[in-house]
């Protein structure tokens, strides 16, 4: 940490800062810059820069060490590649996850699974426990839903991903699901992250609605720090002042994350835009920007979907998109799947 | 729901929308405005406006019914007053909650409790389980912390509030704590909210970092809908582009919420600003704006605090603030406590 | 405009709203919905929905008519194509504008122009008047700069675009420049827009840092309403809470705008990201998302640039990007230039 | 500026950074921290931190010097007090400016002026040139409006403030107006600011919709740097994701600005909230937070106002507010006016 004193700070102010640095278990390094006196606070003890900002004569305090380690490219330079059911994410591969927002019925999930398999998809998505803004909205089929999607997936040789909302649900998910997904609202549910750090299955970690990239990587660090290294980051739009779209898809997060971290980063353009007709252009843009995969909502009958039908593609739209993606990928040196 | 057709929409477009309204279980009401054809979709079935926005010829879709009921002033016009240990929130009373960010040790929490009691505070706060951005930061004393704060509170005739992070922790909190607090990161942890709706103790529901007022009230609806009517809303700053303060305290949320809902709304200026010297002016501003109370961080030795010391007041600063608040309150027809 | 009354609004409340609708020069249309009484306010007089929101018994007020007309696809369905020096924007063409942030010297702008011409670019950019946050930063060469870029452009058969900041500068720009650019800070400088509506040259209208898409289109309406139909919209990043990049490039604005308006929309990934190594991925993403062109900062010696060197490409990086764009474009049915 | 090298940066990387520091006209100061190698870049030449961020081995670059000087409390410690017509802003005084959004007619502005004078107000506001989002909305009476407000003000011994939108309008404003106001949309219209730096009248500088506090102070620096020291800063709400209010009033900006700068800072709760019934609580909150004054919209017949009637108080509401403010001010050691 570096403490910059104000122009004209008194010797007494400086002495007091030096004392405080020591009190906090760090070693002070003094140096006189051209216009400002600067005090380095060297050491590994936890400090809060704001504690120093409040001292007299202090102009600015700068923290150097970011707190994530295991997710950093400095810790591991080569890309992490997560592979599930033959589908790869990272290291030049852009994997595909597709399926309905919610598991609604046996018929629906089997039809969706069939359509996905025919399109060449290897991982199906579908929600069993739904986080809904309103307590009066459909909350999902629960364990029954997980059973249905597992059965449908097995029938068509698909892997399954679904959102886990609660520590108590983890055993159920381990039983039925291949990839556990953490939703945007739970990105900083640290207790949940700690439990997911102990399991043996990959985790898709969605970015919180108002999470900075740094906070997102810190949340991933929770999972890696417990021993689970198979984390796939998923950008799904952030909250801004713009109301024309449900969220603002932050595609520049892709190259930013890929520079800072070795983890694969995919995009969910369905939640990121909230409207079916924006999913195709934003899927193409994601891969062009370097994304390691996509998670896309597809429904056999979107107009009858119980949840988020407006952002779900029809199966034939998905097939068309998938074809375009395969043409686009080589231009940016990617392989789909 | 009201569907506004584009200028020049064809009869075929209109017919299709009408069919779709029926398919969704609602009754269509047609009317020709001066420039636009308008279709009302009357009924109580769940619909997603975006499903209609995607139909040909549709210009705009407007949803009328907000989904919260029990929290609304239309449901209950008179202010809800929550009273704990003789301290009142709502109905003209502005209650006070104060204490350290985190329970650190027996000595620290007893000193804080003593200082709070001497200042006239009746409810002490203190965290036992801390949600920390970094997995490597201090995570709180856990149950041991709850025991200590209970003991200290009993010694000085104080009630206790502390943040619950997890469904599994609820029994522990019921044992030791008088008011359960839901943190900003958990505002949309709907499973947790559902469990809290079944308990017999008041809940402080902090506003999420990027939650709209509507979403906040919907989260409160989860708690009320299960039978727990003692909810205190707490504004604690939202995330914006401004970096000069940790968060942007949205004080206008106070009159907005008080118009929409009967629930008391308090302010946490410590988290809302992140800096000790901003706590006094923003506390005064909160009460002037009509807040039903405050939650303020006070620490016996802020410069040694393990967490958020920079935003904690010294006990004597708190006493000074408390005096000023008592002078200010009558001007806005409030009674402190 | 549609006024939705509260559940349980009194007849007196309704009567008062009806009177007010008439006072404002509109005709009231009453209808009883299932749960709410609804009043339409038909007519063309200017009304402010908030005036009605404040009346007793009113629950919600909904404005239907957006105020832009000439920029709308409802007014003109086919794409507007702007062509300058043989370079096309819109209608399936993605045009390219490239060059340095600022005109710094004869030598610099000639070297840049030469490099651009060799790369196949037909329109060069370069600032003569610079809007700088600090009054102490380099403010541009002024008219001398415009003369230099014109001379360099003529030498290499390029067209010129540069930012106009002030009504007084318009005659100068008409003399030296082929496309006038309105910067993000001036997007709502309505007097400037009105004057630009009267000129005979195309205008690039950058999106304001915190402008909604609707406000951006309204600003374009100012230019079209005076008779100038050659407007190119330019997305260049919006301000959000994220600090990892200078701005958040909102690429979903591209399909949103293209649905609402016939005007071409291009992207400036240099300002949109603020960092050279993000320009390539975001340029590719822009075209993949359907952009009608790009405006990219290229400098012969970015490390010596007086302004924004960090976001400028080296000429050879630009050549590499340009090649990739030409491969990408056919995948999304676009032609570069 | 301080450049922090990555853990494990090579000697070659360090050498290259050192060379680059020299190239940019600064002197490098090397020091080995516990975990990171740190290079100071001492000197006064303009540098862009991003240029250094792009070099190999660089982890982070920190700029120390903020660029405002004259507005800083370090430059001038005592509060600047601006006095107009006996009304004071700053130095313990909270001044009042009130009046209609827009000058609409002789009758209207005279009635407003009379009401303001009777209430004890000494400075009336009123817009003659209106920046409107839509080109089809009422754009103000222009010079005729300025004449009318001057005449009305003289009749009732009031001073006048009005918004100047354009350099060309300055002579007109100097003739008719006592305080020139710069609107939020023009906060970074640097050419306008430069011209206003040369005049002899006070300037109210509104904060831009998405301007950080630092950018706001930099804009004020433009005015002070040309010789005009009478600047009043005005907080009027920032743009965030919240839609319940027109803008989010950032009241914590008051104590933040007052710590950084000697300039008076006032609040415009009318634009800041956009709704009449929020003006009273937010006015009280502003003064409680330490504001040096208020600018409030009052209209003799708000329901007939041509612009922003919904956020204008009735004269009797203003009188009630003014009384409350006078009771509140002593609690926070302020004098109204």
User: What is the per-residue pLDDT across D185-206, written as a single tens digit (0 to 9) for each?
Assistant: 999 999 999 999 999 999 999 9
Which of D68, D190, D307 lies nearest to residue C132, judging by beta carbons?
A: D190
pLDDT band of D34, cuts 50, 70, 90 = low
Query: What's residue B324's pLDDT?
Result: 97
For residue B33, the model assigns a pLDDT of 64
Give the per-residue pLDDT at D181.
Answer: 98
Does C71 have pLDDT greater than 60? yes
Quote the CA–CA distance of D243 and D247 in Å, as a whole number.
8
Enclosing H/E stretch for B117: helix B106-119
Q: How far apart are CA C281 and CA C321, in angstroms?
A: 9
- Minimal Cα–Cα distance from B132 to chain A, Å? 8
Host H or E run for residue A213: helix A213-225
Q: What does the buried/exposed string (b/e) look like for B95-106 if buried means 16 or more CB atoms within 10 Å of the residue's CB?
A: bbbbbbbbbbee
Instruction: Output b/e per residue, B222-241; b: 16+ Cβ within 10 A.
Output: bbbbeebebbbbbbbbbbbb
In this prediction, residues C33-46 reach a mean pLDDT of 74
Report the 10 Å Cβ neighbour count for C331. 19
Closest by Cβ to B218, choosing from A67, A134, A189: A134
Residues 6+ apart with CB under 8 A from B234: B181, B204, B205, B206, B207, B265, B266, B267, B268, B295
Calpha distance B201→B178 (Å, rounded): 6
Q: Name the 3-class secondary structure at A168.
A: helix
Closest C-alpha among A253, A264, A235, A325 to residue A83: A264
CA distance, residue D324 to nearest chain B CA (Å): 7
Which chain A residues are within 8 Å of D6, Cβ to Cβ? Answer: 74
Interchain proximity D60–A64, CB inside 8 Å:
yes
Report how far residue D90's alpha carbon sits from residue D78's, in angstroms, rounded to the nearest whole number.
Answer: 10
φ, ψ for residue D181 (rounded to 5)?
-110, 135
Q: Which two tokens stand for residue D334?
A: 């302020």
* Sign of the dihedral through C-alpha C174, C175, C178, C179: negative
Q: Mark out chain A residues that contact chain C at CB-CB < 8 A.
A: 210, 212-214, 238, 240-245, 248-256, 259, 272-273, 277-278, 281-282, 284-290, 324, 327-328, 331-332
State yes or no: pLDDT of B209 exceeds 90: yes
Contact yes or no for C165 and D191 at CB 8 A: yes
pLDDT at A103 over 80: yes
Q: Collect all residues of chain A within an 8 Å Cβ-Cβ radius of residue D241.
A: 239-241
Q: Indicate the range of A133-137, B235-239, B255-259 predicted with least confidence.
A: A133-137
**Residue D144: pLDDT over 60:** yes
The 3 state secondary structure assigned to chain D is CEEEECCCCCHHHHHHHHHHHHHCCCEEEEEECCCCEEEEEECCCCCCHHHHHCCCCEEEEECCCCCCCCCECCCCCCCCCEEECCEEEECCEEEEEEECCECCCHHHHHHHHHHHHHHCCCEEECECCCCCCCCCCCCCCCHHHHHHHHHHHHHCCCEEEEECCCHHHHHHHHHHCCEEEECHHHCCCHHHHHHHCCCCCCEEEECCCCCCHHHHHHHHHHHHHCCCCCEEEEECCECCCCCCCCCECCCCHHHHHHHHECCCEEECHHHHHCCHHHHHHHHHHHHHCCCCEEEEEECCCHHHCCCCHHHCECHHHHHHHHHHHHHHHHHHCCEEC
For position C35, what pLDDT does the model report?
A: 65
Cα atoms in the 13 Å half-sphere on the side-chain side of A257: 32
Tokens of B263: 């629930």
For D54, name the nearest residue in chain C, comparing CA atoms only. Answer: C310
| % pLDDT > 70, chain A | 98
Res D218: pLDDT: 93
Most confidently predicted of A236-245, B95-104, C24-33, C299-308 = B95-104
How far away is chain A from the Cα of C285, in angstroms, using its nearest Cα? 4
Residues facing A181 on adjacent strands:
A163, A204
Which of B53, B189, B274 is opposite residue A189, by nearest beta carbon?
B189
A38 contacts in D (CB within 8 Å)?
2, 40
Per residue in B170-185, pLDDT (tens digit) is 999 999 999 999 999 9
Distance CA D158, CA D149 (A): 10
Mutate: best of A65, A239, A256, A260, partner D, most D CBs <10 A: A65
Chain C residue with minimum CA distance to A325: C331
Q: Which chains touch D (3 or more CB pairs under 8 A)?
A: A, B, C
Contact between chains at B40 and C60 (C-beta distance less than 8 A): no
Q: Can you give the pLDDT at residue B133? A: 78
Question: How many CA atoms, within 13 angstroms, populate the side-chain half-sphere of residue A281?
Answer: 23
Quick one: pLDDT at residue A33?
64
Q: How far A227 CA sits from the closest chain D CA (Å)?
A: 24
Over 80: is that where the pLDDT of C308 sits? no
pLDDT in tens, A267-298: 999 998 888 899 999 999 999 999 999 999 99
Backbone angles phi, psi at D26, to 5 degrees: -120, 165
Q: What is the CA radius of gyration of chain D?
A: 23
Residue of C190, C225, C239 lying closest to D132 (CB–CB): C190
Is the pLDDT at B164 greater than 90, yes or no? yes
- Inter-chain touch A54–B190, beta carbons under 8 Å: no
Q: Do A44 and D34 touch (CB under 8 A)?
A: yes
Question: Which single residue is written with the structure tokens 């709308």?
Answer: C72
Chain B residues touching residue D210 (CB < 8 angstroms)? 241
- Record: contact C131-D210, CB cut-off 8 A: no
Average pLDDT, chain C: 91
Range name among A266-270, C46-50, C275-279 with the lowest pLDDT average:
C46-50
Is the pLDDT at D113 greater than 80, yes or no? Answer: yes
Q: Quote the distance between the C-alpha of residue B143 and its chain's center.
A: 25
Is residue B67 pLDDT above 90, yes or no? no
**pLDDT number for residue A64:** 65
C104 in Cβ contact with C142 (< 8 Å):
no
Report whether A273 contacts A243 (CB < 8 A).
Answer: no
CA atoms within 13 A on the CB side of A106: 4
CB-count exposure of residue A277 (10 Å: 0-12, 13-18, 19+): middle
Q: How confident is the model at residue B66 (pLDDT cuts 50, 70, 90)?
A: low
State the Cα torsion C48-C49-C51-C55 to the nearest 10°. Answer: 160
What chain D residue is nearest to C310 in terms of C-alpha separation?
Answer: D51
Residues counted in chain A: 337
Whether residue A124 contacts residue A152, with contact meaning beta carbons closer than 8 Å, is answered with yes
Averaged pLDDT, D116-121 = 97
Of D57, D172, D156, residue with least CA distance to D110: D156
What are the residues of chain D with a beta carbon less than 8 Å away from any beta carbon of chain A? 2, 4, 6-8, 27, 29, 31, 33-36, 38, 40, 42-44, 59-60, 62, 64-65, 74, 239-241, 243
CB contact under 8 A, A53 and B166: no
Q: Calculate how close chain D gets to A240, using CA atoms only, in Å.
A: 5
Mean pLDDT of B110-135: 93
User: How open is the CA angle C80-C85-C89, to the nearest 5 degrees?
Assistant: 25
Global pTM value: 0.89
Per-residue pLDDT at C309 exceeds 70: yes
Mean pLDDT of all residues belonging to chain B: 91
Q: Which of C130, C114, C199, C119 is nearest to C164 (CA)?
A: C130
Interchain CB distance below 8 Å, D284 and B331: yes
Instruction: List the single residue in A221, A277, A308 with the smallest CB-CB distance to B135.
Output: A221
Cα of B163 to nearest chain C Cα, Å: 26
How do residues B182-201 score in pLDDT, each as one tens digit? 999 999 999 999 999 999 99
Q: What is the pLDDT of residues A120-151, one digit of tens each?
A: 999 999 999 988 877 877 788 999 999 999 99
Q: Say whether D7 and A38 touch across the interface (CB within 8 A).
A: no
Contacts of A308 in chain B (CB under 8 A): 48
Check B212 against D241: CB less than 8 A apart.
Answer: yes
Q: Are A150 and A110 in contact (CB under 8 A)?
A: no
Q: C135, C169, C221: which to substitute to probe chain D, counting the most D Cβ within 10 Å?
A: C135
Q: What is the widest separation between alpha-carbon atoms in chain D? A: 77
Residue corresponding to tokens 């030409």: C326
Across the interface, which of A38, A40, A74 has its CB nearest the CB of D7? A74
Nearest alpha-carbon partner for D50 in B323, B119, C308, A47: C308
Whole-number Å distance between alpha carbons of C112 and C298: 8
Nearest-Cα distance to chain A for D209, in Å, is: 11
Name every residue in C having a CB less than 8 A away from some CB of A: 210, 212-214, 238, 240-245, 248-256, 259, 272-273, 277-278, 281-282, 284-290, 324, 327-328, 331-332
> According to the model, what pLDDT value does residue D66 have?
62
Residue of C nearest to D184 (CA): C188
Tell me the pLDDT band of B64, cut-offs 50, 70 and 90.
Answer: low
Q: Give me Rg for the CA atoms of chain C.
A: 23
pLDDT band at residue A46 using 50, 70 and 90 as cut-offs: confident
Of C252, C273, C282, the CB nearest to A245: C252
User: Residues D167-193: what's their mean pLDDT?
Assistant: 96
Q: Tell me the pLDDT of chain D averaged across its residues.
A: 91
Tokens 């060059």 belong to C99
A60 vs D6, D64, D239: nearest CB:
D64
**B116 phi and psi angles, rounded to 5 deg:** -65, -45
CA distance D281 to chain B (A): 4
Q: Is the pLDDT of residue B65 over 60?
A: no
Residue A237, min C-alpha distance to chain B (Å) = 13
pLDDT given for residue C198 in this prediction: 96
Whether C65 shows a pLDDT value over 60: the answer reads no
Q: Pick C222's closest partner by Cβ from D135, D274, D309.
A: D135
Count the Cβ atoms, other than its own, within 10 Å of residue C78: 9
Burial of B23 (0-12, 13-18, 19+ CB in 10 A): exposed
Bridge partners (DSSP) listed for residue C331: none
C214-265, pLDDT tens digit by residue?
Answer: 999 999 999 999 999 999 999 999 999 998 888 999 999 999 999 999 999 9
- Chain A residues with CB under 8 Å of C243 CB are 212
CB C158 within 8 A of CB C85: yes
When pLDDT is cut at 50, 70 and 90, the band that residue D64 belongs to is low
Nearest neighbour of B255 by CB, restricted to D241, D250, D281: D281
D243 with B332: Cβ contact below 8 A: no
Query: Confidence class of residue A333 from pLDDT cuts 50, 70 and 90?
Result: very high
Closest CA to C325 of C270, C265, C279: C279
Per the structure block, which two tokens stand in for A122?
């290897």
Cβ distance of A33 and D29 shorter than 8 Å: yes
C191 CB neighbours in chain D (<8 A) are: 165-166
């Amino acid at each position: 940490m570096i403490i910059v004193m104000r122009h004209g700070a008194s010797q007494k102010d400086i002495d007091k800062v030096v004392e405080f640095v020591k009190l906090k278990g760090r070693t002070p390094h003094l140096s006189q810059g051209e216009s400002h006196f600067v005090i380095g606070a060297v050491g590994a003890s936890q400090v809060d820069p704001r504690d120093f900002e409040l001292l007299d004569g202090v102009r600015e305090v700068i923290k150097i060490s970011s707190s994530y380690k295991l997710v950093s490219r400095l810790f591991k330079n080569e890309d992490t590649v997560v592979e599930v059911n033959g589908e790869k994410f990272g290291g030049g591969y852009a994997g595909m996850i597709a399926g309905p927002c919610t598991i609604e019925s046996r018929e629906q999930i089997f039809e969706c699974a069939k359509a996905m398999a025919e399109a060449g998809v290897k991982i199906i998505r579908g929600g069993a426990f739904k986080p809904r803004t309103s307590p009066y909205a459909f909350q999902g089929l629960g364990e029954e839903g997980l059973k249905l999607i597992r059965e449908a997936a097995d029938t068509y040789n698909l892997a399954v991903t679904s959102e886990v909302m609660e520590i108590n649900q983890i055993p159920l998910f381990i039983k039925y699901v291949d990839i556990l997904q953490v939703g945007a609202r739970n990105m900083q549910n640290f207790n949940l992250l700690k439990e997911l750090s102990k399991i043996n299955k990959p985790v898709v970690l969605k970015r919180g609605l108002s999470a900075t990239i740094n906070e997102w990587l810190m949340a991933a660090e929770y999972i890696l720090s417990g021993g689970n290294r198979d984390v796939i980051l998923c950008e799904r739009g952030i909250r801004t002042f713009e109301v024309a779209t449900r969220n603002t898809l932050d595609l520049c997060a892709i190259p930013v994350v890929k520079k800072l971290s070795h983890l694969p980063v995919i995009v969910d353009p369905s939640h990121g835009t909230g409207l079916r007709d924006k999913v195709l252009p934003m899927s193409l843009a994601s891969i062009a920007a370097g994304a390691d995969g996509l998670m896309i909502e597809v429904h056999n009958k979107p107009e009858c979907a119980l949840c988020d039908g407006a952002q779900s593609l029809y199966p034939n739209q998905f097939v068309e998109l998938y074809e375009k993606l395969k043409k686009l990928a080589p231009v940016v040196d990617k392989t789909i799947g």
